Amino acid sequence: MGAELPDYYFRVRENGAAVFRVDTENRQRRIEMDQIAVINIRNGEVKPHGDRALTEEDMARIETWMAERAQVLAHRDIDDIHRAVDYLNLTTHWAQSRATDEQLEDVTDALLLAMHDLRSVLVRKKADRLIKSD
């Protein structure tokens, strides 16, 4: 490995990450990863692993990673929504031009219910925003 490794490694989990301190300065010149904490991105909780005490540097790196991760996840959320709009348009084209009667029978009720639910939420949220802006 030519490039220098980072001092910390974050193994992403569903709600956060396991945090490891990376060590290459040992006799065998092997990469060792020592777990130091588990973090929950949703509630900001940082739990030291075992009986560890986290240093100020550990906490600073963890907080930086959490802020960066929150930005990545927020970007992904809105990107997913834009993709959903594309999928709705593609689904409309499919239903109009290529879908068989059997395929439409298979998906129509589920699509109608999902779209009705989405429309209800969007209309309610839009009304709430309009009321707040007055």
Give the strands of the sheet with 45-48, arranged side by side: 8-13, 16-23, 32-40, 45-48
Q: For residue 3, what pLDDT is reported?
A: 63
- The whole-number average pLDDT for the span 120-132 is 96
Q: What are the residues whose beta carbons fall under 8 Å from the beta carbon of 42, sequence distance 6 or more?
A: 15, 16
20-67: pLDDT as tens digits: 999 877 767 788 899 999 999 999 999 999 999 999 999 999 999 999
Query: Distance of alpha carbon 26 from its chain centroid, rounded?
Result: 35
Q: 30 versus 105: which is more confidently predicted?
A: 105
Phi, psi of 47 (to 5 degrees): -110, 120
Distance from first CA to last CA of the chain, Å, rounded? 60
**DSSP letter at 134?**
-
Residue 41, SS3 per DSSP: coil
Residue 92, SS3 per DSSP: helix
Q: 2 versus 63: which is more confidently predicted?
A: 63
Residue 99, SS3 per DSSP: coil
